[in-house]
């Protein structure tokens, strides 16, 4: 097992050395109880204890706005040139729920036809996880989907052991970095302390919905006509916030913008949301999910049913962002609990 140790008072040196190699981003406090990933230059700027950031780190993998190509239609034959923008970034302090979200996106964008813009950016990102030793808040449901325990998807993974971090080195890139920094190897006492942290977590983090998660796809299969969807549909205002903040939502729109010369332009993609009324509108004026209840149902099925059918995993990582951000007070946990009660 490849574990190393970094004393807490050495974290600043670690961040500074890392930022000489590449841009470093990490969670930073933003007002009361809010956090955001942004560029940092020193450890003192980083919030080591934080509840999920306003936007997940997916913003570095698929930016909200992204140019895909430039085109020129002035000549006899139109020409276009693909644009792939990717910079080397170390994302420090990613919680396990967000690592799980990135694993979901990796599966989606690695499918054929592959999304080279996403994959190129992913290759350039150095991911450093940070364990939540304690439960974050009542909105999270990470224990339901087991995303509270690390299961890969990172280069390095930090766990706080009080006066020091134990660091799991998971990739060759990470091994080279750690060797270059001369970090000490973890002792038997350090790995025993790590096991204690995990033991504590297994009792402190409880399955928040009280249902065996393996039963969820079956419950969803029965719940297509549930009243739960009418209830959340009545309350939802279709703002799209829940999908924008979700670490595993990836829907996007593409649009061409023509410059004033009417000859050149660019193709750009932006985040989209299945909660917006026009999302499922098609030519001829048809809309496959005209009602808010249909769109809400779709959001939940994308997380707990369709993703299991296609990728054999839940696409909800239990981060709780959708509940935290919803102005209509729609709670993912409450919605699931009602659906479970109706359909077990
Ligand atoms: S955040 Fe709430 S109100 Fe907005 S679309 Fe999502 S469920 Fe509806
Ligand atoms: S559905 Fe909600 S709780 Fe689940 S991953 Fe998305 S934002 Fe987080």
What is the per-residue pLDDT for 312?
Answer: 97
Considering only CA atoms, which residue is closest to atom 2 of ligand 2? 322
Instruction: Give the distance (Å) from ligand 1 centre to CA of residue 340.
Output: 21
> Does residue 243 share a domain with residue 122?
no
Domain boundaries, position 104: 3-204
Atom of ligand 2 nearest to the CA of 97: 5
Contacts with 143 (C-beta within 8 Å, 6 or more apart), sequence order: 205, 206, 207, 208, 318
- CA end-to-end distance (rounded Å), the chain: 42
> Does residue 300 share a domain with residue 244?
yes
Decide whether any atom of ligand 1 lies within 6 Å of the 105 Cβ.
no
Q: Helices 292-304 and 332-343 meet at what angle, rounded to 10? A: 80
**Across the chain, what does the average pLDDT equal?**
96
Per-residue pLDDT tens for 262-299? 999 999 999 999 999 999 999 999 999 999 999 999 99
Would you say residue 138 lies in a domain?
Answer: yes
Would you say residue 264 lies in a domain?
Answer: no
- pTM (predicted TM-score): 0.96
Sheet holding 252-258, edge to edge: 79-82, 65-72, 264-271, 252-258
> Does residue 185 share a domain with residue 313?
no
Mean per-residue pLDDT, 78-83: 96
- Which of the ligands is closest to the CA of residue 293? 1
- Measured CA to CA, the distance from residue 206 to residue 223 in angstroms comes to 25
Atom of ligand 2 nearest to the CA of 101: 5
What is the per-residue pLDDT for 1?
Answer: 64
> Does residue 99 share a domain with residue 222?
no
What is the per-residue pLDDT for 310?
Answer: 97
Q: Which residue has the higher pLDDT, 344 or 216?
A: 216
What is the per-residue pLDDT for 344?
Answer: 80
Q: What is the CATH number of the domain that holds 245?
A: 1.10.1060
> Does residue 177 share a domain with residue 34?
yes
Per-residue pLDDT tens for 120-162? 999 999 999 999 998 889 999 999 999 999 999 999 999 999 9
> Does residue 192 share a domain with residue 120?
yes
What is the per-residue pLDDT for 343?
Answer: 87
Mean per-residue pLDDT, 197-201: 95
> Does residue 145 share a domain with residue 218?
no
Q: Which of 10, 248, 25 is nearest to 124 (CA)?
A: 25
Boundary-marking domain end, from 145, 180, 204: 204
Instruction: Give the distance (Å) from ligand 2 centre to CA of residue 139.
Output: 10
> Does residue 230 share a domain with residue 137?
no
Decide whether any atom of ligand 1 lies within 6 Å of the 334 Cβ.
no
Considering only CA atoms, which residue is closest to atom 7 of ligand 2? 246
Considering only CA atoms, which residue is closest to atom 7 of ligand 1? 236
Instruction: Give the distance (Å) from ligand 2 centre to CA of residue 147.
Output: 11
Number of domain units in the chain: 2
Would you say residue 260 lies in a domain?
Answer: no
Instruction: Give the distance (Å) from ligand 1 centre to CA of residue 38.
Output: 25
Confidence tier at 217 by pLDDT (50, 70, 90): very high
Decide whether any atom of ligand 2 lies within 6 Å of the 318 Cβ.
yes
> Does residue 225 share a domain with residue 125?
no
Instruction: Give the distance (Å) from ligand 1 centre to CA of residue 296.
Output: 8
- H or E segment at 241? helix 241-244
> Does residue 199 share a domain with residue 58?
yes
């Amino acid at each position: 097992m490849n574990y190393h140790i970094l004393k807490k008072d050495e974290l600043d040196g670690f961040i500074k050395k890392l930022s000489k190699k590449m841009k470093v981003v990490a969670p930073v406090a933003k007002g009361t109880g809010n956090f955001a990933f942004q560029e940092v230059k020193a450890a003192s700027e980083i919030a080591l204890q934080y509840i999920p950031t306003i936007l997940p780190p997916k913003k570095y993998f698929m930016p909200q706005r992204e140019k895909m190509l430039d085109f020129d239609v002035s000549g006899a034959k139109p020409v276009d040139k693909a644009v792939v923008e990717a910079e080397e970034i170390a994302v420090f302090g990613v919680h396990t729920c967000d690592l799980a979200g990135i694993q979901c996106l990796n599966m989606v964008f690695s499918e054929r036809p592959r999304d080279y813009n996403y994959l190129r950016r992913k290759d350039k990102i150095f991911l450093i996880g940070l364990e939540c030793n304690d439960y974050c808040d009542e909105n999270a449901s990470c224990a339901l989907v087991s995303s509270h325990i690390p299961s890969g998807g990172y280069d390095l993974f930090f766990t706080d052991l009080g006066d020091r971090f134990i660091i799991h080195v998971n990739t060759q890139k990470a091994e080279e970095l750690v060797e270059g920094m001369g970090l000490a190897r973890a002792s038997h006492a350090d790995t025993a302390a790590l096991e204690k942290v995990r033991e504590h977590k297994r009792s402190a983090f409880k399955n928040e919905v009280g249902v065996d998660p393996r039963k969820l796809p079956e419950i969803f299969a029965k719940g297509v006509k549930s009243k739960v969807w009418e209830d959340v549909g009545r309350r939802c205002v279709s703002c799209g916030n829940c999908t924008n903040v979700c670490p595993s939502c990836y829907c996007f729109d593409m649009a061409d913008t023509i410059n004033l010369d009417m000859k050149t332009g660019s193709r750009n993609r932006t985040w989209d949301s299945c909660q917006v009324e026009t999302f499922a509108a098609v030519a001829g004026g048809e809309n496959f999910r005209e009602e808010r209840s249909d769109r809400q149902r779709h959001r939940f099925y994308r997380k707990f049913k369709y993703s299991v059918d296609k990728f054999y995993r839940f696409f909800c990582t239990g981060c709780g962002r959708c509940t935290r951000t919803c102005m209509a007070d729609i709670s993912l946990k409450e919605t699931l609990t009602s659906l479970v009660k109706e359909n077990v």
